[in-house]
Amino acid sequence: LAKTTQPISMDSYEGQEVNITCSHNNIATNDYITWYQQFPSQGPRFIIQGYKTKVTNEVASLFIPADRKSSTLSLPRVSLSDTAVYYCLVGDTTGGSYIPTFGRGTSLIVHP
Amino acid sequence: EAGVAQSPRYKIIEKRQSVAFWCNPISGHATLYWYQQILGQGPKLLIQFQNNGVVDDSQLPKDRFSAERLKGVDSTLKIQPAKLEDSAVYLCASSLDEEGWWTGELFFGEGSRLTVL
């Protein structure tokens, strides 16, 4: 399994763009990158998934460089409600078994 | 669409007692996961079922933890006997995923918070 490394915590202010980078140096050819968000007292929630280049949905954007050794989750114009822990997962979604493995995540605190 | 249901939401027991958690996944979801989340840490996968077969249970402490998914639908996770370090939130998740077709999108329940005294 590809190991991921994220910053433990980040601080931001309302209205700013937040970029959280995940390092996955030993990502395999068939691995996809998936991000989850977790609020206190709730289970994680799927945000976005990508394989290469850029993916955008109504919540966030995911930027993946050509070498795929890192990825960046971008949250545009954050609000207080974006305060949460964000997890980056890497795994092969094309093979026989996909084992979703969470790291410690990045705790994002958005200040007024 | 109904989400993943878990019960109980909270449980307090003394060490060496037993406890069981129940999970009902989203209808039609083939894969079911049990995670343990200790305060301040990310969720740790305990066991993953696909239908009623086990895909992975490498991190399940089998001397005290057991899980079953009869008929490939709902599931029960049991701890017997409990230790102080078992205090955590136990999260159940489900996904449509099946072997050879993985979306990587898990749907989580609200969790069951266990306190062992």
Whether residue B54 is contained in a domain is answered as: yes
**DSSP reduced 3-state for B87:** coil
Residue of B43, B45, B100 with shortest CB distance to A96: B100
pLDDT of residue B78: 98
Burial of B5 (0-12, 13-18, 19+ CB in 10 A): middle
For A90, the closest chain B residue by CA position comes to B104
Residue A30 is predicted with a pLDDT of 81
B62 backbone φψ class: left, alpha, beta (φ>0; ψ -120 to 50)? alpha
User: How far away is chain A from the Cα of B108, in angstroms, using its nearest Cα?
Assistant: 5
Could you give the number of structural domains in chain B? 1
Give the structural domain span for B30: 5-97+109-116
Tell me which residue has tokens 């590809």.
A2
Does the pLDDT at position A14 exceed 90? yes
pLDDT in tens, B33-51: 999 999 999 999 999 998 8
pLDDT-based confidence at A28, cuts 50/70/90?
Answer: confident
Using the beta-carbon criterion (under 8 Å), do B106 and A44 form an inter-chain contact?
Answer: yes
In a domain, B104, yes or no: no
Are the C-beta atoms of residues A93 and A32 closer than 8 Å to each other?
yes
Nearest-by-Cβ selection for A105 from B35, B42, B100: B42
What residues have CB less than 8 Å from B35, skipping those under 6 apart?
A102, B43, B44, B45, B46, B90, B91, B92, B93
* Lowest-pLDDT choice from A100-104, B10-14, B66-70, B87-91: A100-104
- Phi, psi dihedrals of residue B48, rounded to the nearest 5°: -130, 125
Closest-CA distance, A77 to chain B, in angstroms, reads 25
CATH number, domain A9-111 = 2.60.40.10
B contacts of A59 (beta carbons < 8 Å): none
**Helix, coil or strand: residue B75:** strand
pLDDT bin (cut points 50, 70, 90) of residue A93 is: low
Residues 73-92 of A with CB under 8 A from B: 85, 87, 89, 91-92
- Mean pLDDT of all residues in chain B? 93
CATH for B62: 2.60.40.10
Neighbours of B1 (CB within 10 A): 6
Give the one of A41, A45, A97 whose C-beta lies nearest to B55's C-beta: A97
Cross-chain CB nearest to A44 (options B43, B48, B103): B43
Average of per-residue pLDDT across B64-93: 95
pLDDT at B24 over 70: yes
**Higher per-residue confidence, B105 vs B113:** B113
Provide the pLDDT for residue A94: 61
Q: What is the mean pLDDT of residues A16-43?
A: 92
- Average pLDDT, integer, range B92-108: 82
Q: Which residues contact B107 (CB under 8 A, 6 or more apart)?
A: A46, B3, B4, B25, B26, B29, B93, B94, B95
Residue B10: inside a domain, yes or no?
yes
**A71 has pLDDT over 80:** yes
> Which chain A residues contact residue B45 at CB under 8 A?
99-102
Q: Please report, as a single letter, which amino acid is at residue B58.
A: S
- Taking 70 as the threshold, does the pLDDT of residue A96 lie above it? no
Instruction: Report the gap between the CA of B55 and the closest CA in chain A (Å).
Output: 7
Residue B1 pLDDT level (bands cut at 50, 70, 90): low
Share of chain B above pLDDT 70, in %: 96
Residue type, B52: N
